[in-house]
Amino acid sequence: MPFRGGRSSDNLQNRNWKGRPPKHLAGFLLLAMNLDFQKSGGLVTAVIQDHSSGRVLMVGYMNDEAFRLTVATGYATFYSRSRKKLWMKGESSGHRLAVKEISTDCDRDAVLIQVELLGPGACHKGYRSCFFRRLENGEWRVAEERTYDPSAIYGGRQ
Amino acid sequence: MPFRGGRSSDNLQNRNWKGRPPKHLAGFLLLAMNLDFQKSGGLVTAVIQDHSSGRVLMVGYMNDEAFRLTVATGYATFYSRSRKKLWMKGESSGHRLAVKEISTDCDRDAVLIQVELLGPGACHKGYRSCFFRRLENGEWRVAEERTYDPSAIYGGRQ
């Protein structure tokens, strides 16, 4: 079932409107502003959860544009704090995160996004979840097997 | 089953040692430093997940001391960005988060904490999860019932 959380999402991908947004997008833009992007310098925290298994796959950060693109395209898009730019998860690996449901918290400074992971892993290190290290007796230990070979997907770029 | 992720946790609650920490705590302190607190100005993001239902209950932030206290006491402790101080979840409501398991992600700048929620709700607004608002047709809508009356717990302080 396609994600229906957004409104008038078709137009946002081809944003060649100048000046004020079209009237039918006003509610959608208001929605994005309704999140509290100020507490973290323009970002909200985005928790990505596998909608079928419940596993938390990764945590990313979204500015208002990344959040709008996530809603508009139906694929999770983040703002990279280190590279200072937008990135759609899976743009190089193909392992995209298809949005199923979006929630926000009481403070409106975090979003929880239920997704279908398209591919064997959300983590660029080759694991299904980025949370593959567990605290055991005071040390972080890898707690699961890789689900794919990251060098075959990312080459030398990881 | 008590949480056994930490090491020598008994001593951290009564931190009246001066100067250098006791030798048996060195590994534990190294562990905390092993997380990347720099990307978010001294904080890591902490995702709190109900260990039995898989529901994401809340997102908070921990500085190194909050993380150490979480491991040492077995109860999730956060750093409040607005109040600029440590707070143990449940210190006023009694709705504490008993730690079952802790994971970290590939970047080591986020932790995922599996907990048992002691009480009817993790959210100070009266809901089981802070993520009680869902995006529907471009608007945030409350998607569930309250599990307790927050005014009876928090009084006028919420």
User: In this model, does residue B32 exceed pLDDT 90?
Assistant: no
- From chain A residues 30-89, the ones with a CB under 8 A of any chain B CB are 31, 34, 39-40, 45, 47, 49, 53-56, 58-59, 71, 81-82
| Residue of higher predicted confidence among A30 and B13 | A30
| Cβ neighbourhood burial of B147 (10 Å; 0-12, 13-18, 19+) | middle
To the nearest whole percent, how much of chain A has pLDDT over 90? 67
pLDDT for position B123: 96
pLDDT band at A157 (very low <50, low <70, confident <90, very high): low
Whether the CB-CB separation of B27 and B21 falls below 8 Å is answered with no
- The answer to whether the CB of A143 falls within 8 A of the CB of A130 is no
The CATH homologous superfamily of the domain defined by A9-157: Phosphoribosyl-AMP cyclohydrolase (3.10.20.810)
Nearest beta carbon to residue B56 from set A6, A112, A133: A112
Does the pLDDT value for residue B16 go beyond 90? no
Q: Partners of A135 in the beta sheet?
A: A140
Q: pLDDT at residue B43 above 80?
A: yes
**Structure confidence at residue A135 (pLDDT):** 94
> Is the pLDDT assigned to residue A6 strictly greater than 80?
no
Distance CA A125, CA A149 (A): 8
B147-to-A22, A128, B123, B125, B130 alpha-carbon distances in Å: 41, 33, 10, 10, 12
**What local confidence, expressed as pLDDT, does residue A126 receive?**
96
With 50 as the cut, is the pLDDT of residue B127 above it?
yes
- Given pLDDT bands bounded at 50, 70 and 90, which one contains residue A34? confident
pTM, two decimal places: 0.84
- Whole-angstrom distance, CA of residue B154 vs CA of residue B158: 6
Backbone torsions φ then ψ of B34, nearest 5 degrees:
-70, -20
What element of type H or E holds A111? strand A110-117
Return the closest-CA partner of residue B135 out of A46, A90, A153, A141. Answer: A46
Domain boundaries, chain A: 9-157
Which pLDDT tens digit goes with each residue over A91-135?
989 999 999 999 999 999 999 999 999 999 999 999 999 999 999
Domain B40-157 in CATH 3.10.20.810? yes
Shortest distance between the Cα of B12 and any Cα of chain A, in A, equals 14
Q: Which of residues 81-140 of A touch B (CB under 8 A)?
A: 81-82, 101-108, 110, 112, 123-125, 127, 130-140
